Structure 1
């Protein structure tokens, strides 16, 4: 390797790595020199290198010391050069650590993990979602993409923050979207609903373009944009306005002594819905028999999806077909 090739490789290395290599070479040099000058006091090259490191770090154990004038001159030169470089390396390493934490908080560091959840948009809804994920599974990695936050303290929230526009490929690459497990796109409620839906659809297109197989959950505020979100590649479209309107309706007209909102909230916190095809042993059975079948597994059969029609709590005499999709409620 010629000098130019070495310079090309060396100066492309991170500054901390370059400093560490320089310190090691310098300490090896002085350790070898002192061994050659005073072989009785420094029997091996390693003894000389040990002396160079502890002296340069100003630790000075005193187990090895040069006795001759030439040896002490070498020690002075080592302290003036190697000692300063070793101190500079330690301070640079500390500064790099602090800068890395700052870059994490400011969303400048790319995510290199796998099987993570990507959440787009930071608001009270997604903040609570992050807390719920952390409570359910503390090992689940979450990556947040947002363009409105100037920083998000890494030690305060269990997420890897990426600052930028989620509809841009470079930002999605930073979030390692190709290795992600799923994506949740939250609407920006600080802007007009139609504009927020357009941004959500653009982000959906960008995500689908970078990962053809990833499940995309998109929040849409206006009914007219639901089909566009599906065309863009969203697997699940969440109409938050529709959901809240339905809850409001139940709160206004519910039966006496019932509490619909709190009931739904606690249900979703403790239980999860599953859609499964009719098991072979239930084909031709009644809905009532299906309820008993799933109760034995501590699950609750709620309804049937047949030919695109949802039948919640249908007649107990209805017969289950092999093409039916059963709606099951079970614990997390």
Structure 2
């Protein structure tokens, strides 16, 4: 019964562990035998095991050598049996390492880290986002889920790739979503805008269902699906079409100036922030607050009152309790939440 349980346990182990266990048992057995047969030349079991490993791996230091006929027969058996086991073990270990690297590139390996960010969709926006993290030395573990990409060179990108449907529970569990911190869902560029938004909403539902409190940032292309995305559980919506329309509008009034470069650099180098005013700012005007913020390297650009946004309000506007200030702050001063 015990032998049967051991056999079941043994053959359920990974092949590399089984081989290592077999080699270890073999070396201990031969090392113990040579110690019993020639106790003078092999005074301890450890000396015998050392000789068995050196001989079985064909290294052959020659510091311990059997002198008796039976000892030499054991050495011959060790070379024939042990050499094959050790060689096979090393070949299997090398093959397993290569296969693991291939599985990483093909998105087959599960992610086991925590406090990471999951990005859904491999596209140019995702690539640029990862480059921004790199340029600003933001340490963040990124897990990418994508169904359209067959292979990603993991050495060239700071991410862990999971190949699968973003709405699949299996893919999300492979990405260890229960221990993730953020999810960023990008719109699928291969679909129409309506189809892409429906796919995004399904992804939001799947992510929210697997992690009730995770922070979800989703890209929505059409106005009609904005409310549905919020209902599905998105915390932040990125309206990329609105942003692009605003860029075109701004460019109409600037013949030579590259407005897109200015805005892109602003978004890359600065972070938009807001915070509720302190009690000592109640009753102060907007101009006074702007001066106070400048001392902290914060550029005040607007305020929020009763969920209504005011950009560049009149400097004489007095602040009330509950108002929030909107300002720009250098990215290198931002800490991820």
The question of a shared fold, defined as TM-score above 0.5 by the shorter chain, is answered with yes
Give the match for residue 269 of structure 1: 268
1:284-299 alignment, distance < 5 Å: 284-299=283-298
Give the match for residue 182 of structure 2: 182
How far apart are the structure 1 equivalents of 2:265 and 2:197?
Answer: 29
Give the match for residue 303 of structure 2: 304
How far apart are the structure 2 equivalents of 1:275 and 1:101?
Answer: 44
- Contact between 1:144 and 1:162, CA under 8 Å: does it hold in 2? yes
How far apart are the structure 1 equivalents of 2:193 and 2:307?
Answer: 29
Moved more, 159-168 or 188-197: 188-197
Change in CA separation of 1:298 and 1:114 when aligned onto 2, cut-off 3 Å: same
Change in CA separation of 1:122 and 1:316 when aligned onto 2, cut-off 3 Å: same
Residue 217 of structure 2 is aligned to residue 210 of structure 1: no
CA-to-partner distance for each residue in 1:166-196, whole Å, 9 max, x for gaps? 1011110000011111011000111111111
- Contact between 1:134 and 1:140, CA under 8 Å: does it hold in 2? no
How far apart are the structure 2 equivalents of 1:265 and 1:121?
Answer: 21
- Contact between 2:133 and 2:139, CA under 8 Å: does it hold in 1? no
How far apart are the structure 2 equivalents of 1:270 and 1:96?
Answer: 43
Give the match for residue 69 of structure 1: 69
SS of the residue corresponding to residue 4 of structure 2 reads: helix
Change in CA separation of 1:102 and 1:230 when aligned onto 2, cut-off 3 Å: same
SS of the residue corresponding to residue 145 of structure 2 reads: strand
- Contact between 2:147 and 2:165, CA under 8 Å: does it hold in 1? yes
Give the match for residue 334 of structure 2: none
Give the match for residue 49 of structure 1: 49
**Mind listing any 5+ residue stretches in structure 2 that lack a counterpart?**
332-337
Q: What RMSD, in angstroms, separates the aligned Cα atoms of the two structures?
A: 1.2
How far apart are the structure 2 equivalents of 1:69 and 1:280?
Answer: 95
Q: Calculate the TM-score normalised by the size of structure 2.
A: 0.96
Paired positions, count = 331
Q: Tell me which stretches of 4 or more aligned residues in structure 1 moved more than 3 Å.
A: 256-259
SS of the residue corresponding to residue 149 of structure 1 reads: coil
How far apart are the structure 2 equivalents of 1:8 and 1:134?
Answer: 48
How far apart are the structure 1 equivalents of 2:150 and 2:100?
Answer: 16
Give the match for residue 132 of structure 1: 132
How far apart are the structure 2 equivalents of 1:268 and 1:117?
Answer: 20
How far apart are the structure 2 equivalents of 1:58 and 1:123?
Answer: 51
CA-to-partner distance for each residue in 1:183-210, whole Å, 9 max, x for gaps? 1100011111111111100000000011
Shift, 1:8, TM fit: 2.3
Residue 22 of structure 2 is aligned to residue 38 of structure 1: no
Give the match for residue 146 of structure 1: 146
CA-to-partner distance for each residue in 1:115-151, whole Å, 9 max, x for gaps? 1110000011101111111232363210000000111
Give the match for residue 120 of structure 2: 120
Shift, 1:236, TM fit: 0.7
SS of the residue corresponding to residue 111 of structure 2 reads: coil
CA-to-partner distance for each residue in 1:234-282, whole Å, 9 max, x for gaps? 011111011001001100123x654321111111111111111111221
How far apart are the structure 1 equivalents of 2:43 and 2:71?
Answer: 14
Give the match for residue 87 of structure 1: 87
How far apart are the structure 2 equivalents of 1:311 and 1:20?
Answer: 68
CA-to-partner distance for each residue in 1:291-331, whole Å, 9 max, x for gaps? 01111111111101111211001000111112112101111
How far apart are the structure 2 equivalents of 1:279 and 1:265?
Answer: 31
